[in-house]
Amino acid sequence: MKIAFHVDPLDKLKAYKDSSVAMMRAAAKRGHELFAIEPGNVFSRDGSVQAFARSVSLAAGADDHGHDWYQASEPQATPLKAFSAVIERKDPPFSMEYVYHTYLFERAEAEGARVFNSPRAIRDNNEKMAILKHADMIAPTIVTRSAAVLRDFVSLHKDAIFKPLDGMGGSGIFRVRENDANLGVIIETLTLLGTQSIMAQRYLPEIVDGDKRILLINGQVVPFALARIPMVGETRGNMAAGGKPVAREMSATDRKIAETMAARLAPEGLFLVGLDVIGDKVTEINVTSPTGFVEIEKQTGFDVAALFVGQLEQVLHKT
C-alpha cells in the first residue's frame, strides 16, 4: 500500500521519540510505500485535491538524534485519492488554517481518499472542548471568557486549572486557588481581556500519580497507559513540560474508561485517539497527533505502531 503522512516537516521530527516516525517504521517493515506531505502542501486544483508529496525511505541504523534517519525525493503533485491511506499527523495549534486544511481533506474524501483520522471528526472534536460531550466522564468543567464566571468557579471549587482551548504540550496552563493574588491577571492574560474563551476544571490531586495517556486504535485499547509524572513543584504532567513518562498496565478503572470511550469515539471516524486521564476523570481527548508510542514500546515491549498499522490494514482490506 501507499501510505502518506501529513506531518510537520521531517527535519523537525525527533526520530528517537516521535510516534509518527514509529508508524512509518512499522509500515515500512510490512512492505508499504511511504510518502510525506508537509503543512501548506495540500491544495485544490481543477476539481481535485492534491498534495506535493515526497517519497520517503528510512535509513537502517541511522542516528535518531540527527536528520539522517530518512531520505526523501523531490515533491511531486499527487491526488490524495492516489494513496491507499492518508494519515493526519499535523500538530496543533488548531488554528483557522488547520480548519481550512480539514475542509480540503474532507473534499479529498469525497473524491475517494481514505483519511485517518476523519477530517470532519477532527474538526468536530476540539481536543479540549470534546470532553463536554462526555459529562459523565469528566470533573466539573466550564468554558467561558467571563471573568466573573471564572472567579465564581474558583470560589466554588477552591482549586482549579485554567487552560487555553488551542494549546498543546501543557502550554498556557495555570493552577489557581481561591484568594490567589494573581487571579485577575491570569484571567486577563488567558482570555485576552475577555475576548477569548478558556476552559476551567476542578483541580484533581491525583495528578501527583500522573496524567495518564491512554491510546485507542480503531476501537481497540492499547493495554498499557503512559503515566506522565509532573516534576517536583509542577502541576503539569505533559512530557513537553518536563513530565516523566512511566508506562503502566492499566487498572480496572482505566480499562473501563478506555472501553467506554472507544465505543463512543471510533464510530465518529476517530481511528487513533489519545485520552488524557487523571484519577478516574477524562481531561482531554487528543485526536490530531496523539503520542506515546515509543515510550510504551521501550518500557514494556508492546509495539503500539505495529498495532496501528495492523488495524489500518484491516480497515483498508475490508473496502
Catalytic residues, which ones? 128, 163, 213, 228, 236, 276, 284, 286
Grid coordinates standing for 274?
Answer: 489519545
CA 151 – CA 160 distance, rounded (Å): 10
The DSSP output letter for 265 is H
The DSSP output letter for 67 is S
Helix (H) / strand (E) element for 185: namely helix 183-190
Beta bridge partners of 217: 220, 272
Which single residue is written with the C-alpha cell 495555570? 174
CA 39 – CA 18 distance, rounded (Å): 17
Evaluated on CA atoms 176, 177, 182, 183, the torsion sign reads positive
Query: For the chain, what's the residue count?
Result: 319
Is residue 166 within 8 A of residue 92, CB to CB? The reply is yes
Grid coordinates standing for 282?
Answer: 477524562
The CA-atom distances, in angstroms, between 257 and each of 8, 125, 249, 263, 296 are 31, 18, 14, 10, 19
Q: Is 27 exposed, middle or buried (0-12, 13-18, 19+ CB in 10 A)?
A: buried
CA–CA–CA angle 75, 81, 87 (5° rounding): 70
Is residue 199 within 8 A of residue 131, CB to CB? The reply is no
CA 128 – CA 286 distance, rounded (Å): 8
